Amino acid sequence: MLEIRNLTKIYEDGTLAVDDVSFTVPDGEFLVVIGLSGSGKSTLLRCINRLIDPTEGEIIWNGIDLAKLEGDELRHARRKIGMVFQHFNLVDRSSVLTNILTGRLGYSKTWPTMLHRFPIEDREKAWQTLERLGIEDQAHKLARELSGGQQQRVGIARALMQDPELMLADEPVASLDPVLAHSILQHLEDLNQEDGLTIICSLHYLDLVQRYSTSVIGLKAGKLVYQGSKKDIRNMTDDEFKTIYGEEAIRISDTSLEGSLGEVVEQ
């Protein structure tokens, strides 16, 4: 179980990105974070695995406060938290296989990995993961030679190599077209339902939120302004929606961003 208590992040330039946010994520949840651009979704997710150091607050995970960890303890905690990025963040010029094996670095001895040596079990695991995501044909290509959807599957595979118990996904489908978006989210859903992996995922498209989430939180200007179950978001009213997305939401629908949250207003 993950429990966020009074989490606050103020950047060096004074930007208040996350403002006193508290919520709980039971194990096995598929939590979707929604909110306008700049509302603090990425900051929140990055605080959880400490790519960003929170200014205040606690991140209690399985009884440990991640916010206080340093050095090896932090690295060991990170091993169990996979992360998938909007822009995939693959090492473009490395092979797919190397990118995926990167997920094992936290478990490996330093010196062999300097020579690109990984235990045979890790290599086998890499192939299994590739197969599971249907990209075994691409193993020896360079990451940048792959299509966007394939790259994001490599990103998921890399996270899976960590044997994660928690998966953070920061707008994993925002740079993909809708068909690919579904296939990527189905992979995540799979992991959530079959392996019981807890997933925290930020999304922008309402139909995707409705289709995949088991619960939803909404951020606005760093504040938690909405918290609801899958059922709640189905029945979300215009007003509730506006508290999250502001008056701008109407404009978004006018520019007819198909499938975007803007459609809520019209429904």
Ligand X SMILES: Nc1ncnc2c1ncn2[C@@H]1O[C@H](COP(=O)(O)OP(=O)(O)OP(=O)(O)O)[C@@H](O)[C@H]1O
CA-wise closest residue to 264 among 241, 244, 230, 231: 241
What is the distance between the alpha carbons of residues 117 and 8, in angstroms, rounded to a whole number? 40
Which window, 11-19, 98-106, 179-187, 218-226, contacts other proteins (CB under 8 A)?
98-106
Greatest extent of the chain over all pairs of C-alpha atoms, in Å: 58
- The amino acid occupying position 128 is Q
Compute how many residues bind ligand X; rule: CB under 6 A.
12
Site for other proteins in 118-157 (CB under 8 A): 155
Q: What is the dihedral of CA 142, 185, 182, 246, to 10 degrees?
A: -110
Partnered with residue 260 across adjacent β-strands are 205
Could you say whether residue 158 binds ligand X (CB under 6 A)?
A: no
Shortest spacing between CB 49 and Mg ion, in angstroms: 14
Q: Which does 151 bind (CB under 5 to 8 A by kind): Mg ion, ligand X, other proteins, none?
A: none
Residue of 15, 91, 177, 243 interacting with other proteins (CB under 8 A): 91
Size of the site for Mg ion (CB under 5 A): 1
Minimum distance of Mg ion from residue 38's CB (angstroms): 8
**In 3D, which of 89, 195, 104, 197 has the Cα closest to residue 143?**
89
By CB under 5 A, name the one of 32, 34, 39, 42 that touches Mg ion.
Answer: 42
For residue 8, what are its two tokens?
């606050």
User: Tokens for 167?
Assistant: 């998966």
Candidate residues 25, 31, 43, 49; the one interacting with other proteins per rule CB under 8 A: 49
> Alpha helix locations (H) across 20-147?
41-48, 71-79, 96-101, 110-114, 120-132
Which lies closer to ligand X via its Cβ, residue 37 or residue 267?
37
182 binds, among other proteins, ligand X, Mg ion, none (CB under 5 to 8 A by kind): none
Task: In whole angstroms, give the CA distance from residue 150 to residue 133.
Answer: 9
- Interacting span for other proteins (CB under 8 A) from 2-10, 23-31, 75-83, 232-240: 75-83
Does residue number 158 form part of the binding site for other proteins (CB under 8 A)? Answer: yes
SS3 of 229, please? strand
Residue 41 binds ligand X, judged by CB under 6 A: yes
CB of 206 to Mg ion, least distance (A): 18
The pair of three-digit structure tokens given for residue 152, joined into one six-digit string:
């994001």
For ligand X, the binding residue among 1, 6, 15, 145 (CB under 6 A) is 15
Interacting residue ranges for ligand X, rule: CB under 6 A: 11, 13, 15, 17, 35, 37-43
